[in-house]
Amino acid sequence: MTDAAGSVGFGPPSNQGCDDVALPGGIGSQRNGVLPVARQDVGHPASHQVSLAWRSLLLIRAGAGRFRPRARDNLRDGTAQGRINVRVSESTARTDVALVGAGIMSATLAALLRLLEPQWSITLVERLDAVAVESSSPWNNAGTGHAGLCELNYTPERGGSIDITKAVLINEQFQVTRQFWAYAVENGVLTDPSFLNAVPHVSFVRGADGVDYLRRRRQALAHNPLFAATELIDDADEFARRLPLMAAQRDFSEPVALNWAPDGTDVDFGSLAKQLVGFCVRGGATALFGHEVGNLTRNGDGSWTLRMLDRHTGEKRKLAAKFVFIGAGGGALPLLQKSGINEVRGFAGFPIGGRFLRTDNPALTAEHRAKVYGVPAPGAPPLGALHLDLRFVNGKSWLVFGPYAGWSPKYLKHGHASDLPRSVRWNNVVSMLGAGMTEKTLIAYLLRQLRLTRADRMRALREFAPGAADPDWELTVAGQRVQVIRPAEKTGGALEFGTTVVGSADGSIAGLLGGSPGASTAVPIMLDVLRGCFANRYQAWLPRLKEMVPSLGTQLSQEPRLYDEVRSWSAQALQLNSL
């Protein structure tokens, strides 16, 4: 396997300094379809004069549209011997790395690459006019801070025993992410740690069978250092002390229990993504907003040409990139299909939307200072279990209850009704039909959800908070998640919940498909992208990566002393004070 983009190689930036900026606006007038900087959002210095990002991206040429004589780079061993010799049109710009989508995944990968290879040019392309407007928006996330502490679908009961494998894996991944955030705060990558807040994660069950399951779950996890701080609460008075909103008007003649994890967190991924993009921009990266990638084609040298539309001016543009990452949420699958890589053949997507009830009533938010997850309903997708969460959005406390499933053929909240039908290919029809035949329970669940009334939703909320009053709560529409359908031998296709990285064999392009736990495990997922797409560079990067993630390469669940050390360090760096 060769390095990313085959032989084209990464070199020094092309005319890319701190002036090469185009970020979400509100400051100054729009020029040439490139929006100026929202300095308060991305940490851009207020004294900096914004220039046209696109103009600065255009290539410097020698002669009739040619670069200097042919020279190739070995991207896997990291030797850069010169620029490639290819014809480019007058309207084609060039970059080492192109990132499609301005959400948490692209922002995380951009920050990692900026730290590892500061001389590489990076261009981020976003169809909307701001960072993290789609799946990474705090209002478009079904849940945040997933660490396997309270999500009961991660600890299923099989054959009379509790399987904790998935919960431990998710927690290990979140610890990697948390360590990188701590490093980023200490080293100026992130300037405001308020995107992360300590919020207990709690499992909630009702009935004798539920209490018995939760007790056995606690016993199964007790030996693991990642879950050592959790405690079982089955006393009504203690329940009321911890969760007064849920205790009010509750009939405690029915057995109830909580599994309380004090070391949970709430994450505003929108704020986090803005800070990461801001760090990259200050280091010389370019961000193009209001630019939609409509197609991409592989060039003869192994690089890629992205064909974009400036949605503000209607101008068509092209960007040549040596490595492409598609972190466009639900928009990733159609673009991977258009790339023509064999690895995406047979893959399809099934969109599932979400809705929530929410309130910012201070009297209510003061009475509920936790994220409380219930038992998933029959047929509900993973992480489709109802939960009553304390969230912090732009520094303000909210309570959010849901999700209630919705459905639309759109792959993005700001997408098109034609997204699903246009993704159908001859090579994925069998996968889609196979998944449809095997997911009848899920389809029935979605149909039931679509029939829910306001009264039905409030009735579900009152199972958590019996005293909930209708006027306090409003319904809001969350984002779209496109669940992965992959080829399967026995059934033709299988619907999967989680995230999947699909990339070309030569490592020149990769994209992320799927949803939860998603953002909470962004760093290990992007490390997998680096390992897969830059195999020969990865070993050279490891010492630096271990500075960012001290536990990298180890299992913290098997290293209790190391876990205590990195947990204490990251909590201090991230200013995590218990509620």
- Structural domains of the chain, with CATH: 1-141+268-341+504-548 (3.50.50.60)
Nearest CA to 58 out of 34, 82, 80, 76 is that of 34
Residues in the chain: 579
Does the pLDDT at position 35 exceed 60?
no
CB 431 within 8 A of CB 346: yes
Mean pLDDT of 459-478: 96
Nearest CA to 151 out of 518, 554, 524, 566 is that of 518
| Per-residue confidence (pLDDT) for residue 516, from 0 to 100 | 66
Q: What percentage of residues in the chain have a pLDDT greater than 70? A: 83
CB 159 within 8 A of CB 135: no
> pLDDT tens-digit profile of 266-303?
999 999 999 999 999 999 999 999 999 999 999 999 99
Confidence of residue 156 (pLDDT cuts 50, 70, 90): very high
Confidence of residue 383 (pLDDT cuts 50, 70, 90): low
Tokens encoding 325: 């990452």
Handedness of CA 545, 550, 556, 558 (dihedral sign): positive
Handedness of CA 179, 180, 182, 183 (dihedral sign): positive
Nearest CA to 144 out of 368, 376, 398 is that of 398
Q: Which residue has the tokens 């009939």?
A: 251
Does the pLDDT at position 191 exceed 70?
yes
Q: How much is the pTM?
A: 0.86
| Per-residue confidence (pLDDT) for residue 579, from 0 to 100 | 56
| Per-residue confidence (pLDDT) for residue 39, from 0 to 100 | 31
d(CA 496, CA 481): 12
Instruction: For the chain, give the mean pLDDT.
Output: 83
d(CA 267, CA 146): 9
Q: Which residue has the tokens 């014809």?
A: 87
Tokens encoding 220: 């199964």
Q: Which residues pair with 359 in a beta bridge?
A: 399
SS3 label, residue 456: helix
Nearest CA to 144 out of 502, 530, 402, 511 is that of 402
What stretch of H or E contains 403?
strand 396-406
Tokens encoding 317: 């543009």
| Per-residue confidence (pLDDT) for residue 539, from 0 to 100 | 96
Nearest CA to 115 out of 63, 183, 36, 61 is that of 183
| Per-residue confidence (pLDDT) for residue 424, from 0 to 100 | 84
Across 140-154, 295-309, 384-398, 496-510, least confident range: 140-154
Distances (CA, A) of 1 to 301, 506, 509: 15, 6, 13
Confidence of residue 377 (pLDDT cuts 50, 70, 90): confident
| Highest mean pLDDT pick, 9-18, 32-41, 315-324 | 315-324
Across 330-339, 478-487, 497-506, 570-579, least confident range: 478-487
User: Residue type for 535, please?
Assistant: A
Paired sense of beta strands 371-373 and 201-206, if any: parallel
